[in-house]
Structure 1
Amino acid sequence: MQNRRQLLLSAGALAVLGGYGGKVSAAQAAGAAGQLDSFLDKIFQQALDDSPQLATSLGLDKGDRAKAKFSLDGASLADKAKDKALNTRQLAELKAIDRSQLSGMAAVNYDSVLFNLETNEAANRQFDYGYLGGGQPYMVSQLNGAYQSTPDWLDNQHRIETKEDADAYLSRLADFGRVMDEETERARKDIAAGVVPPDFVIDRALTQMRGLLTQPEASTLVASVARRAKEKGVSGDYAGPAAKIYAEKVAPAIERQIALLEAARPQAVHDAGVWRLKDGEAYYAQALLSSTTTKLSPDEIHNIGLEQAKALEARADVLLRGEGLTQGSVGERIQALYKDTRYHYPNDDAGKEKMLADMNGMVEAMSKRLPQYFGALPKAPLQIKRVPKFIEAGAPGGYYNQPSLDGSRPGIYWINLRDSAEYPRWALPTITYHEGVPGHHLQLSLQQEADLPMIRRASFISAYGEGWGLYAEELAREMGVYEGDPRGEIGYIQSSLFRAARLVVDTGMHAKRWSREKAIETMHAISGTPVTASTTEIERYVVWPGQACSYMIGKLEWLRLRERAKAALGGRFDIRKFHDAGLLSGAMPLTVLEAVVDQYVASARA
């Protein structure tokens, strides 16, 4: 039996989406819809079977799935082959369901899952290197690999409440070495086929790997279980066994991965783009399709970036002149703002704690405004944390981890505080609105709390989700958060310039064969982003081609669809219902979002 909240969400979704996909008889719809429900439940259960880390992240490693907490996801060549075959089989099963008999949310579910399976299938068929589904060509880089993600994941997502949880941590710590060795094997195979990361990527990754190597008793991996077991009153020595596992299994695996990259380093070139890889142009086209969920070409995306930058620079020029900044290009004047130490937090632990406190204040103030713009609001709390120091050098400026489904872990907004000057006071609000509220925390929490199949509650589509994050920045401005704060509004425009520049530099490197240095210079010139932050960003796009394009392309589509709904509905347009229609339907390709908004318009007219 559904509770009232679930019933309201379900009814709201059906009201909004009732006609999507055409009208069919109740008997027909029940048959196809029932098949789809069974299929979606089946693939979710399969995902949990294959990924013990997914089970933990969602808070589902309990009861019959308690064993999941004792292992990490596999990364071997055999796992890769199995996953490819599974995708092919699931795509065939989905296509066997008659799409013409589906309507409402069932049609949205079908089309969203179909897009993911089809894009993965196309990439898996054509490209045999990097991660499955394409888009990330290097198994190990400054952003990819268990060495980079697992220590933080174990510390923040593997819960320790009981002795069993602490024992499971030790089991996973031992498994960490196995996973790194499996990734090393796949990376070795790719390198032998000519898929060698650029020299600067290898150098950055080696710096981070060497930073992870330490004496066992000084390792964060050892300290995490010892500290948290003690905090929860779990008796026994965990530091000793963890240190032994680190010394015998983890450190040697890191050393083997280091040795592989050191051996590959002489083969590495300085070219940044994937055009140099086997079928590189096709690889990038597939990456753009997967990330933007559109068929826009690299040239089209490049030109959209230039056009957006031009329009944003015009608005920034007015604001900058009002602040007495009249000399130089917009980018140069923003660079001058970045260098103005009056707006810097002290670059020490106390200064960074003050930054975190101020961001929490921004979230609290924004949360009070949300009921005017959203019908549904998230129940999950939000925490703001700094990116772990050992991965600061290569990590993005900010990112978000969604809460567990069982409510045991909040949403976490991570901010990279390697250098406080990268986030002067005037630039801090916008990234907080993007990663927190009304951005990713609101979007992903509502998706998890919505009445959707589990596989869709746990999914993420970049153009939809990152497009929402950037749309949320614009929405915050519309809410009036920058009234009387022109420098804060400059921070918002600088963030948008940054995302416009992404379209230019990503396509520049991967399609127009720009160098890393030209991309850094262009990013710096257009957005005014400091060279250090621009460098980290450009190197991110090198190892994750296409993804950076999803933000602005997605935002423009959210805005276009909102304006279309406004024009169609006039005084009947309700921004809260527009947002609910888009968010409670979960992550979806932009073409499906368009259909969802069209149906919201139809239902509002009715």
Structure 2
Amino acid sequence: MIDRRIFLGSAGAAALLSFARVPAVAAGMQSTTAAGADLRALMDHIYHDIVLADPELRTSLGLDTGEGAWAKSKLQDRSAQALARDRAKVRAAYARLQAIDRDALAGPERIDYDTVAQLYGTVTSGYDQFDYGTFSWPEPYSVSQLGGTYNAIPDFLASQHRIETREDADAYLARLADFAVQADNENARLRGEYAMGVIPPDFVVARTIALIGNLTAVPAAQSGMVTSLAMRAKAKGIPGDWAARAATILDKQVYPALARQADLFRSIQARAPHDAGVWRLPEGEAYYAYALRYATTTGMGAEEIHRLGLDQMADLSARADAVLKAEGLTRGTVAQRIRALGTDPRFLYPDSDAGREILLADLNRQLAAMQQRLPDWFGRLPRAGVEIKRIPPETEAGAPGGYYQSPALDGSRPGAYYINLRDTAELPKWSLPTLTYHESLPGHHLQIALSQESAGIHPLRRLSSYSVYTEGWGLYAEQLADEMGVYEQDPFGKIGYLQSFMFRAARLVVDTGLHHKRWSREQGIRYMAETMGDAETTIATEVERYCVWPGQATSYKVGQTQWSALREQARSRLGDRFDIKGFHDTALAAGAVPLTVLDQVIDDWVKARTA
């Protein structure tokens, strides 16, 4: 998955190139019509005044210097007032878009129009319907085991706030103090949510209290938020007692604000229901329909998605069964045999620092081998590199198995694939190659870095906002790795690939089961355990993720299914003229788009090759 910080609070995700380095209208795309000029002006406005208004996003993209230096000492404003201002900006921008005559636009401009219209149309429909859960993607609870300031800011400060000068270190301290302010802003929003009856399930409440407690239990002087600043300032030769100053802010401001947040969670613990789905929230069924529209960019309903998951699980289980039997594994269900492989000592890394180092070295070898295969499948490859890193131990307990973080746009930081090493028993060797291909190459890094480096589209469109495109691509990249032949001498790696696909198909079933069919958390865990063979600790974390991020997990398999379908349709229409490099380059050059727009991009490419 993609690091959730790249999702802009008011309107989606951004992984964008510096506006200073790319003209407002990309070369060769100057509009000759009034409608086109209006669209360009609107996109410039959205980029400057909405997207780049988020100071954390500016830092993530390396745009917090020069004219963007104001952002370096600030965090995103998480207050209800700021949310209302963001909503007003998005509504006004969408109204401007609707006033533009789409029929007067040229072909590429229509792609721009349709892409922005789909996102802003969906987002504003959420604003119209719901008084909760529209701060970022459809995320009904402002704070949970996976979301909130306590979760995001420590890692953000350690991994993205650069320390090169005394001013940078001072800005770090200012952000640390702002951490307390934003936690209290969240606390105010939480009180409003709880008054509306938007209360997380009891297991989410308990997990979140524990995670906040883990953070504040560390003495301030030993906190990573303090030691990170002190070590980096020392490495740059910046004099000053940075550790003492940071520890004081943490002790006197941040920890008390987080304690207030934990107290808020404890205050609702007795009222928290065990029901896992959003159906029980105000307008809950409509909220889930909104979440599915946002996640899939389609009109697919919950029942259709549920059936797609069941059908694909049946097919994938049959394929896995054939590979397992070929390796002499014939006894028990597919899930039982895969579960046995998951505990086979020959596939496990030692659960130690040394074992984790060996694991990371193996992943880097897999990544290097994949890089050698890419030129046969892609005409364009990204200039930015990608590193493999461990998710920080202080946040790994509630974090997903892995995620991708895009490169800084100024070249100061490569892309990163973060992997969760909380328990190496959750990561048998045969399961890791496909995860690496999903998160790095040819998956998220290839797609997102190419988008960032593309000079042919407006900066606003170098986005990662469409999970169904980006996560669909990540899963399609796993399929592509198999088609490249990486598992020809690695049948157990092939099992890992098939199980990964089974996992994403199971998500379709469980996400819709929880939020549409009113399954319990335990039903979701049981279904995945019986069909996949994963460790129950991993499954529980995943199911709890779906409870707080409704719909998002459906984007992977819906997106991959469409990527594969579009490729095969193009191959069928073009016959011998089909070119896999051309297909990939064309689809990726468009940037992240809704599935309907991707369909049009590929249709235009096919027509051009048959003209």
Range into which the TM-score falls when normalised by the shorter chain: over 0.9
Paired residues of 2:574 and 2:606 also in contact (CA < 8 A): yes
User: How far 1:310 moved relative to its partner?
Assistant: 0.5
Deviations 1:314-360 (A, max 9, x none): 11111000111111111111111111111000011110111111111
**Which of 26, 29, 35 is the matching residue for 2:38?**
35
Correspondence for 1:72 = 75
Correspondence for 2:598 = 593
Unmatched 5+ residue regions in structure 1?
A: 15-25
Partners of 1:233 and 1:573 in 2: how far apart? 57
Is 1:312 matched with 2:316? yes
Is 1:127 matched with 2:130? yes
Paired residues of 2:464 and 2:470 also in contact (CA < 8 A): no
**Which of 208, 212, 228 is the matching residue for 1:209?**
212
Paired residues of 2:126 and 2:134 also in contact (CA < 8 A): no
**Which of 390, 395, 398 is the matching residue for 1:394?**
398
Q: Which amino acid aligns with 1:388?
A: P
RMSD: 1.6
Taking the TM superposition and a 5 Å limit, the aligned residue runs for 1:350-365 are 350-365=354-369
Correspondence for 1:23 = none
User: How far 1:131 moved relative to its partner?
Assistant: 3.4
Is 1:193 matched with 2:192? no
Deviations 1:230-280 (A, max 9, x none): 112222221111011111111011100000001111110111000111110
Paired residues of 1:362 and 1:429 also in contact (CA < 8 A): yes
Partners of 1:457 and 1:496 in 2: how far apart? 28
Deviations 1:6-38 (A, max 9, x none): 99xx89x98xxxxxxxxxxx98x4322222111
Correspondence for 2:282 = 278
Paired residues of 1:275 and 1:284 also in contact (CA < 8 A): yes
Paired residues of 2:184 and 2:257 also in contact (CA < 8 A): yes
Q: Which amino acid aligns with 1:402?
A: S
Paired residues of 2:36 and 2:109 also in contact (CA < 8 A): yes
Correspondence for 1:444 = 448
Partners of 1:550 and 1:445 in 2: how far apart? 20
Secondary structure of residue in 2 paired with 1:383? strand
Is 1:464 matched with 2:469? yes
User: How far 1:105 moved relative to its partner?
Assistant: 2.4
Correspondence for 1:367 = 371
User: How far 1:49 moved relative to its partner?
Assistant: 5.1
Correspondence for 2:120 = 117
Partners of 1:230 and 1:134 in 2: how far apart? 38
User: How far 1:459 moved relative to its partner?
Assistant: 3.6
Per mean C-alpha deviation after superposition, the further-off stretch among 232-241 and 204-213 is: 232-241
Correspondence for 1:547 = 552
Is 1:84 matched with 2:87? yes
Correspondence for 1:496 = 501
Deviations 1:405-455 (A, max 9, x none): 111111111111111111111110000000000000000000101122222
Is 1:563 matched with 2:568? yes
Deviations 1:166-187 (A, max 9, x none): 1110110000000111011101
**Which of 484, 490, 503 is the matching residue for 1:485?**
490
Is 1:432 matched with 2:436? yes
Is 1:577 matched with 2:577? no
Using a 3 Å threshold, how does the CA distance of structure 1 residues 291 and 48 change in structure 2: closer, same or farther? closer
Q: Which amino acid aligns with 1:52?
A: P
Q: Which amino acid aligns with 1:525?
A: E
Paired residues of 2:385 and 2:414 also in contact (CA < 8 A): yes
Partners of 2:97 and 2:149 in 1: how far apart? 32
Secondary structure of residue in 2 paired with 1:112? helix
Partners of 1:588 and 1:72 in 2: how far apart? 28
Is 1:522 matched with 2:539? no
Paired residues of 2:50 and 2:89 also in contact (CA < 8 A): no
Using a 3 Å threshold, how does the CA distance of structure 1 residues 181 and 6 change in structure 2: closer, same or farther? closer
User: How far 1:132 moved relative to its partner?
Assistant: 2.9
Partners of 1:540 and 1:221 in 2: how far apart? 26
Partners of 1:553 and 1:152 in 2: how far apart? 30
Using a 3 Å threshold, how does the CA distance of structure 1 residues 6 and 57 change in structure 2: closer, same or farther? closer
Partners of 1:459 and 1:549 in 2: how far apart? 16
Correspondence for 1:221 = 225
Deviations 1:61-119 (A, max 9, x none): 11111111010000101011111111110100111221112223221111111111000
Per mean C-alpha deviation after superposition, the further-off stretch among 42-51 and 165-174 is: 42-51
Paired residues of 1:134 and 1:283 also in contact (CA < 8 A): no
User: How far 1:494 moved relative to its partner?
Assistant: 0.3
Compute the TM-score of the two structures, normalised by the length of structure 1: 0.95
Paired residues of 2:127 and 2:134 also in contact (CA < 8 A): no
**Which of 57, 61, 66 is the matching residue for 1:58?**
61
Correspondence for 1:538 = 543
Partners of 2:76 and 2:57 in 1: how far apart? 9
Partners of 1:456 and 1:234 in 2: how far apart? 39
Unmatched 5+ residue regions in structure 2?
A: 1-20
Per mean C-alpha deviation after superposition, the further-off stretch among 373-382 and 29-38 is: 29-38
Is 1:289 matched with 2:293? yes
Paired residues of 2:448 and 2:464 also in contact (CA < 8 A): no
User: How far 1:130 moved relative to its partner?
Assistant: 2.6
Partners of 1:367 and 1:103 in 2: how far apart? 37
Partners of 1:49 and 1:309 in 2: how far apart? 41
Correspondence for 1:18 = none
Q: Which amino acid aligns with 1:285?
A: A
Deviations 1:198-250 (A, max 9, x none): 01001111111011102110111111111111112222221111011111111
Q: Which amino acid aligns with 1:306?
A: L
Partners of 1:146 and 1:6 in 2: how far apart? 32
Partners of 1:567 and 1:32 in 2: how far apart? 36
User: How far 1:392 moved relative to its partner?
Assistant: 1.3
Paired residues of 1:396 and 1:416 also in contact (CA < 8 A): yes
Secondary structure of residue in 1 paired with 2:429? coil
Is 1:250 matched with 2:235? no
Per mean C-alpha deviation after superposition, the further-off stretch among 127-136 and 101-110 is: 127-136
Is 1:102 matched with 2:105? yes
Compute the TM-score of the two structures, normalised by the length of structure 2: 0.94
Paired residues of 1:495 and 1:527 also in contact (CA < 8 A): no
Correspondence for 2:154 = 151
Using a 3 Å threshold, how does the CA distance of structure 1 residues 246 and 280 change in structure 2: closer, same or farther? same
Q: Which amino acid aligns with 1:36?
A: L
Secondary structure of residue in 2 paired with 1:455? helix
Paired residues of 1:33 and 1:106 also in contact (CA < 8 A): yes
Q: Which amino acid aligns with 1:95?
A: Q
Q: Which amino acid aligns with 2:103?
A: S
Aligned length: 587
Paired residues of 2:94 and 2:120 also in contact (CA < 8 A): yes
Secondary structure of residue in 2 paired with 1:164? helix
Partners of 1:472 and 1:144 in 2: how far apart? 27
* Percent identity of equivalent pairs: 52
User: How far 1:551 moved relative to its partner?
Assistant: 0.2
Secondary structure of residue in 2 paired with 1:362? helix
Secondary structure of residue in 2 paired with 1:384? strand
Deviations 1:501-558 (A, max 9, x none): 0000000000001010110111122221110110000000000000000000000000
Partners of 1:264 and 1:286 in 2: how far apart? 26
Secondary structure of residue in 1 paired with 2:403? strand
Correspondence for 2:512 = 507
Partners of 2:191 and 2:138 in 1: how far apart? 19
Partners of 1:442 and 1:161 in 2: how far apart? 29
User: How far 1:50 moved relative to its partner?
Assistant: 2.6
